[in-house]
Structure 1
Amino acid sequence: MLKLESACEGLNLSTSKSPKASTKQRVILSKKSTNNEEIVFNQGDTQRSILSEYIFRDTVMKAFSLIALILMLCGCSAPHQDSTQAVKQFYLAWMNINTQDLDTPHDTSALMQRYVAKDLIERLALIDSLYEQEILGADYFMYVQDYDPKWIPQLRVGRAQPFLGGEKVDVQLGTGSIPLQLEVYTRWEDGRWKIYRVRDISDSYEHLIYSAGDITRAQAWSAEIAPDYEKMNK
């Protein structure tokens, strides 16, 4: 009898443990299922985040491209004004300065910076620093040594014409039956039209400021006689 009860107890014990084991397995399975769902959910969030970032970057790049295109079209549709007015304003100011008190030196640096190309300013300064140079014997911009105030109201400036990527403007100076005719060459520099060359077409003459040979010879001669001038200045 005792053996039978013990057997039954053993049978009951093993039977009672079985539901617990099954429950435990279901819990484990449930946990595994939940973890898998979380992994799938996290992967979905990551993919959506990457896709959103890609769309945002693509939109930004397209916007920048559109802005650049608009700016380019605006630049093409609104070209800068020709150099006629710039040349006229320079010559009016230049003659006004040079017909004032000739015994008083006048500072023309601001005017030059505004209307004259940097290369021409530097070239004129170099030539002016040489002793006994013969490259410039007169005003480079007017081809004269003396100025007449009457020239100011009689200044004539023609319409700018395209020339080698820049422009060319005809300028008439002086009074009388034979006025002085000049050709003034300009180019776009630092956001402005600036003068880089002037020719006297009345006499078919041009100062040799762009002649490398003439400048080299003038520099050599200046260096040779410089000691004599330095002694005189002491």
Structure 2
Amino acid sequence: MSTTKEPLEITCTECSTRFRLWVPAEVLSTWSEGANVNCVSCGKGHKVTRLAEGFSVEDTAGVVTQPAPAPVATAPVAAPVAPAPAAAVPSAELDTVLFIEDDRLAREMIENSLQDVTVKMVVVKNSTEALKAVSTETVHLIVTDLYLKDPNDPEAVFDGEDFLKRVVDTGANIPAIITTGKDIIDDIVLDPKWFDMHVKGFIQKGNPFWVDELKLKIKEVLYKD
């Protein structure tokens, strides 16, 4: 049975990274005295307190991974010469990953967090834009949200599953990864229909590390080092 969760968006005061937590309702009831939440990027601590309406977020000491050691007095040495930056790989030689995500914050997290993955990113917000991208780009991997329909968006006419079916119907054999903010139920994941749509994995967006999990899955599917 799915647990009711509430979204909590935090902007880190240290590195300005924006991330979202989906917190179970029963856990929120214990946050009236405050709970410590660390930034998913730099480890900066924040105290999150449940108020009558919404939340308050305050700085705490936090824990930053791999803190810089205290400086040690040494004789002056010549500054090292910085190596020449590696030549950029032409976009035509990169694998193209098509991201379909209707949530603005999730799109920003994807674009900001996957910069170090050597792929060409094409990011769209609905199924109609995705179909146009497939027809104009040589797509090597599709990452799509499962639920894309939006009555307020005339171009969001079908969900991720319907989009993948349409891609398969064109004869294309493009691997896919599905993301969703809903709890992933085993009965859904194990359904054999996903095999026919070339789905290689599911990523649940209900935890603060979902982008890191997505990055690893992309590298696994594309055999990236």
Range of TM-score over shorter length: under 0.3
Whose RCO is larger (CA < 8 A, sep 6+)? 1
Query: TM-score, normalized by length of structure 2?
Result: 0.21
Query: TM-score, normalized by length of structure 1?
Result: 0.20
Larger radius of gyration: 1
